[in-house]
């Protein structure tokens, strides 16, 4: 019995020694999106469902737009066929948590690369560069830039920062209004309940395309926004693979063709392809 007790004690001591550093590493292991795609031929990708030109779910259940095309192309390069993609609606308020909690494997949703966000997620890209702008009614010619918004109502979506940036930098007396989705802001703008909407110009262009007689973009961008594909933090293998896919989409011409199809009709000026620096 003493020998058995000694052996049990020795085994326990060995386990304790070998696991002594297990809790000291703050970086948890991450299953790469590359491995998941290869193992199951399936990915869940977070996109917007309400952004015409970028990512829109149609009445008959189809998904259309530039972001959707980027997501499909990246998935294809990872070995996942279009029919094996599950589309999940993600918003400005849920993108980080959707990735961290494993709700989605990738986020392709006009997701600007910022240092703050890089503390929570990894990015590959950029795959597009745009700038913050204003959407107004055509009957408001006196709104010519963010500095002309003092005393007016400015709308953006919950969890996004553009409206706050306008107040902090250009118009301290602007009244900020938040809605869950951009279409809610557009409805309020058309109804005269607000005076302007702010977000990236390429997002606003989709709404102009829907109501060109009523809406216009001011056309004076006042920021630089670099869109990246979001991945779980520390997925270095996935980041490299997705970055390589974006570069291939650009060099092969699919990038330009998708933009011409989805954005070109709005009149928004299509920029030159970006340099893929996050990969």
Q: Which CATH class is domain 132-217?
A: alpha beta
Structure tokens at 168: 């902090």
Kindly report, residue by residue over 221-241, the tens digit of the pLDDT: 999 999 999 999 999 999 999
Q: What are the residues facing 226 on neighbouring strands?
A: 129
> How far apart are the C-alpha atoms of 116 and 165, rounded to whole Å?
15
Q: Kindly give the parts of the chain with pLDDT less than 50.
A: 1-29
Fold (CATH) for 33-130+225-266 = D-Maltodextrin-Binding Protein; domain 2 (3.40.190)
Kindly report, residue by residue over 17-47, the tens digit of the pLDDT: 444 444 434 443 458 999 999 998 999 999 9
Q: Which residues make up the CATH 3.40.190.10 domain(s) of the chain?
A: 33-130+225-266, 132-217
pLDDT at 227: 97
């Amino acid at each position: 019995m003493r020998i058995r007790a000694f052996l049990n004690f020795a085994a326990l001591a060995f386990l304790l020694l070998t696991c002594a550093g297990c809790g000291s590493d703050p970086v948890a292991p991450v299953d790469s999106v590359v491995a998941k795609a290869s193992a199951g031929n399936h990915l869940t990708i977070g996109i917007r469902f309400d952004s015409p030109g970028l990512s829109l779910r149609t009445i008959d259940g189809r998904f259309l737009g530039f972001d959707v095309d980027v997501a499909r192309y990246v998935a294809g390069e990872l070995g996942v066929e279009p029919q094996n993609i599950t589309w999940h609606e993600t918003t400005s308020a849920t993108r980080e948590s959707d990735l961290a909690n494993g709700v989605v494997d990738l986020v392709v949703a006009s997701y600007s690369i910022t240092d703050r966000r890089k503390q929570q997620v990894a990015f590959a890209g950029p795959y597009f560069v745009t700038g913050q702008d204003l959407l107004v009614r055509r009957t408001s010619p006196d709104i010519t830039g963010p500095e002309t918004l003092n005393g007016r109502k400015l709308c953006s979506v919950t969890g996004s920062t553009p409206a706050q940036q306008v107040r902090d930098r250009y118009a301290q007396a602007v009244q900020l209004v938040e809605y869950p989705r951009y279409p809610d802001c557009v409805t309020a703008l058309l109804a005269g309940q607000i005076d302007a909407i702010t977000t990236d110009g390429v997002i606003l262009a989709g709404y102009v395309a829907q109501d060109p007689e009523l809406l216009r973009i001011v056309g004076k961008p006042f920021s630089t926004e670099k869109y990246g594909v979001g991945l779980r933090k520390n997925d270095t293998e996935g980041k490299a693979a997705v970055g390589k896919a974006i570069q291939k989409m650009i060099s092969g011409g699919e990038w330009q063709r998708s933009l011409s199809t989805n954005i070109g009709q709005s009149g928004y000026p299509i920029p030159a392809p970006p340099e893929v620096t996050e990969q």
